[in-house]
Amino acid sequence: MHLAGGYSSEGMNTAVSLGDEDEDDEWEDVEDVSGGEEGNGVRWVRPKRGRRSVSGRREGRRVARAATARKERVWDFGVIPYEIDANFSGAHKALFKQAMRHWENHTCVKFVERGVDHPNYILFTERPCGCCSFVGKRGNGAQAISIGKNCDKFGIVVHELGHVVGFWHEHTRPDRDNHVQIVRENIMAGESSRTIP
């Protein structure tokens, strides 16, 4: 299962289930955030420890990262083809392109307009989840990057593109507790299980 948090159209932080994973996935369930409803598939996930290294050997002390390591989830040659739904205004299209340029200026990824030779690509659209995206490349044609109502802000678009590139939220890193201290008393009532695994 892929999970990417984001902001709903009401501006609230959300956790969104975005699809099923292979049985031998690199991610493990951490906590059910479904509010007790069995089978809705909304769960926090984090990388499993002790996966295979590049050489194929199991390593119990692999360095934990906040990005996907699955080769099939990495965009070919760092190139991410995109298409923008015709329903977006010119201002929205300019905002999306500005956010893509931001990633290009700070990383080795490149966004290109989708051509006939790009079977896998991202599609800027609006879905009920508000602002959400798959993590990494799905590999089955178009994959939505939803920029909903009240999500059309530069920082939010950059954030969702980070999921497209392959990044997960920092607070879900398996080594998080080595770097930050979660003060659960400071978390709003009822929010802890939704936002902090």
Q: Which residues are annotated as a binding site?
A: 159, 163, 169
Compute CA distances 16 → 106, 131, 143, 188, whole Å.
Answer: 27, 10, 15, 20
53: helix, strand or coil: coil
Buried b (16+ CB within 10 A) or exposed e, 133-143: bbbbbbeeeeb
Binding residues for Zn(2+): 159, 163, 169
38 is catalytic: no
* 185 CB-side CA count, 13 A: 0
Lookup result for tokens 């299209």: 93
Which is the catalytic residue, given 38, 160, 170, 191? 160
Q: What residues act catalytically?
A: 160
